[in-house]
């Protein structure tokens, strides 16, 4: 049973990136499941740090974008989701290719939501694990 309560599609998700940091970094939403979202970011000159590795901040941008989108689209119409807290553990470096993130809900409450995000390299190895807590703002 899908958890999405607002209209959702890859076109809706990706068109929301226009003119944002996500567009500048090359982030693409690539899959919507019944209870997960998946997006990816290229490891290239836009996203690496001086040592040639995917910048940890870019991993967090991808994680926050996935968790925030999940919270937004799984909440009723009129509700808004804003980030309260995010953490990230960087487990492995990425030097090329794509890093793909998948988010799933841990808790979907009325006033808060918690989403887990796993980022993997092209070999399926964990690059980063993250968790975001979202405040759910009710309609005024």
Active site residues: 64
For residue 120, which of 82, 84, 93 has the smallest C-alpha distance? 93
**CA–CA dist 116, 64 (Å, integer):** 10
**CA–CA dist 130, 69 (Å, integer):** 15
For residue 131, which of 56, 65, 63 has the smallest C-alpha distance? 63
**CA–CA dist 134, 49 (Å, integer):** 28
**CA–CA dist 43, 96 (Å, integer):** 5
For residue 128, which of 9, 47, 73, 34 has the smallest C-alpha distance? 47
């Amino acid at each position: 049973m899908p958890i999405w309560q607002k209209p959702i599609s890859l076109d809706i998700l990706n068109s929301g990136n226009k003119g944002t940091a996500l567009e500048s970094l090359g982030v693409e939403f690539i899959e919507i499941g019944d209870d997960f979202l998946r997006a990816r970011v290229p490891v290239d000159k836009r996203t690496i740090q001086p040592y040639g590795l995917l910048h940890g901040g870019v991993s967090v941008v991808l994680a926050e974008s996935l968790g925030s989108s999940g919270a937004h689209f799984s909440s009723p119409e009129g509700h808004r989701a804003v980030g309260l807290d995010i953490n990230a553990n960087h487990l492995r470096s990425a030097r090329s290719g794509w890093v793909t993130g998948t988010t799933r809900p841990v808790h979907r409450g009325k006033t808060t939501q918690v989403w887990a995000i796993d980022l993997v390299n092209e070999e399926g190895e964990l690059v980063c694990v993250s968790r975001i807590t979202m405040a759910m703002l009710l309609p005024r």
